[in-house]
């Protein structure tokens, strides 16, 4: 339920509606907009009778929210969310580019790549310190040491850091040291982690699960917003289908659909979708064309030696070329 107030409604009238919602046992969430305030009814397990609100002073109308998600929905927030991290802006019409290696391997590796992607125009740096790997025998990341390397990368380059929290236990450390907390595809429905990230004071980048519908993805984002953190960035990274010509099937159609359904910014990660270096650039250009708010791209200066995702990592010069082509 969304109680839409008249444009000249007073703070007292808004508070009175909020109190009626609290008296019903639910939670009011006033959402100020450019022209009027709307009050979203949260934590109601079933439908709410609009007659509780119609006729109250200052109320224009009470409308049922047709979707199961509320806080992430465009029905409740008409204006697109813009997230600022350091100098970087995500949402609001600019194409934000997050670039860096799949995993942090050493200080020298991370700094070498960071200097190059910054020179090419990336506005945030990525690199996994805690890696969710399919095999327990694969490189699992440098852990806290990797986070400290990322802190040094930020100190030297000024680029904000995006890195993954693979569970709620490491989320404290990631929140402390990183600028954006990434939740990976494998964890999109890890509700303990989603709730923990929802209590973080840093933006969260939520990747789409590899078999998640758009509704499941938006409901996962709703968990984060419902805990109080409204700074969520969505990221499409390909879903699993019968097609085996790429690592995943990039669902470019999800971008305009999610942008219609939600006010949250949506990025595309063409690297994990393609899985193969030569297909990253065409997918990135497609993403920019369908209105993505940004890109997340894996880059490595020695991909043949990379400890994870080398085959899909662009060489710095390929990344530079892509950035120039996308700008054009």
Q: Shortest approach of ligand PEP to residue 246 CB, angstroms?
A: 13
Q: Is 274 in the site for ligand PEP (CB under 6 A)?
A: no
Interaction mask 190-229, ligand PEP, x per CB under 6 A = -----------------x----------------------
Do residues 42 and 71 lie in contact, with contact meaning Cβ atoms separated by under 8 Å? yes
Minimum gap (Å) between residue 185 Cβ and ligand PEP: 4
Choose the contact partner of 237 out of Mn ion, ligand PEP, none; CB within 5 to 8 A by kind: ligand PEP
What residue 285 binds from Mn ion, ligand PEP, none (CB within 5 to 8 A, per partner kind)? Answer: none
Stretch that binds ligand PEP, among 19-27, 67-75, 179-187, 214-222 (CB under 6 A): 179-187
| Residue 170 sits in the site that holds Mn ion (CB under 5 A) | no
The one segment of 100-108, 161-169, 195-203, 226-234 that binds Mn ion by CB under 5 A: 100-108
**90-119: which residues touch ligand PEP (CB under 6 A)?**
102
Q: Looking at 102, 180, 183, 273, which residue binds Mn ion (CB under 5 A)?
A: 102
Determine if 128 is a binding residue for ligand PEP (CB under 6 A). Answer: yes
Q: Choose among Mn ion, ligand PEP, none what residue 99 binds, the Cβ cut-off being 5 to 8 Å by kind.
A: none
Residues from 188 through 247 that contact Mn ion (CB under 5 A): none
| Shortest Å, Cβ 196 to ligand PEP | 17
Sole window of 4-12, 86-94, 96-104, 225-233 interacting with Mn ion (rule: CB under 5 A): 96-104
Looking at the Cβ atoms of 20 and 220, the one nearer to ligand PEP is 220
d(CA 143, CA 128): 9
Among 85, 309, 316, 322, binds Mn ion (CB under 5 A): 309
- Distance set, CA 324 to CA 117, 122, 195, 290, 328 (Å): 12, 11, 39, 18, 6
The pairing of strands 37-42 and 124-126 is: unpaired
Alpha carbon 302 to chain centroid, angstroms = 28
- Are the C-beta atoms of 93 and 119 separated by less than 8 Å? no
Residue 184 binding target from ligand PEP, Mn ion, none, CB below 5 to 8 Å by type: ligand PEP
Nearest to residue 83, comparing CAs of 271, 263, 327, 298? 263
State which of residues 28, 100, 184, 198 lies at the interface with ligand PEP (CB under 6 A): 184
Per partner kind, with CB cut-offs from 5 to 8 A, the member of ligand PEP, Mn ion, none near residue 74 is none
Judged by the rule CB under 6 A, the positions of this chain that interact with ligand PEP are 102, 128, 132, 184-186, 207, 237, 269, 272
Judged by the rule CB under 5 A, the positions of this chain that interact with Mn ion are 102, 309
């Amino acid at each position: 339920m969304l109680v839409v107030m008249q444009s000249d409604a007073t703070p007292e009238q808004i508070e009175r509606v909020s109190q009626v919602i609290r008296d019903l046992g639910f939670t009011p969430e006033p959402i100020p907009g450019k022209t009027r305030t709307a009050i979203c009814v949260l934590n109601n397990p079933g439908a709410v009778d609009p007659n509780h609100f119609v006729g109250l002073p200052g109320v224009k109308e009470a409308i049922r929210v047709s979707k199961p998600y509320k806080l992430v929905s465009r029905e409740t927030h008409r204006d697109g969310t813009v997230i600022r991290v350091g100098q970087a802006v995500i949402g609001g019409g600019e194409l934000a580019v997050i670039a860096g290696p799949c995993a942090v391997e050493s200080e020298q590796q991370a700094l070498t790549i960071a200097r190059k992607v910054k020179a090419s125009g990336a506005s945030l740096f990525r690199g996994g310190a805690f890696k969710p790997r399919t095999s327990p025998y694969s490189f699992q990341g440098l852990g806290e040491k990797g986070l400290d390397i990322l802190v040094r990368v930020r100190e030297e380059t000024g680029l904000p850091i995006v890195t993954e929290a693979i569970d709620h236990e490491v989320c404290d450390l990631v929140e402390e040291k990183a600028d954006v907390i990434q939740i990976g595809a494998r964890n999109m429905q890890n509700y303990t982690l989603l709730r923990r990230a929802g209590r973080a004071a840093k933006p969260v980048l939520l990747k789409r699960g590899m078999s998640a519908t758009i509704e499941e993805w938006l409901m996962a984002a709703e968990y984060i917003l419902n805990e109080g953190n409204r700074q969520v960035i969505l990221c499409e990274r390909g879903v699993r289908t019968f097609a085996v010509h790429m690592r995943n099937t990039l669902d470019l159609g999800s971008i305009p659909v999610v942008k219609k359904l939600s006010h949250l910014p949506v990025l595309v990660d063409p690297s994990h979708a393609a899985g193969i270096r030569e297909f990253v650039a065409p997918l990135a250009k497609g993403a920019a064309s369908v209105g993505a708010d940004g890109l997340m791209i894996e880059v490595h200066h020695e991909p043949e030696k990379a400890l994870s995702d080398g085959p899909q990592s662009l060489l710095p010069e390929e990344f530079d070329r892509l950035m120039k082509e996308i700008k054009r």
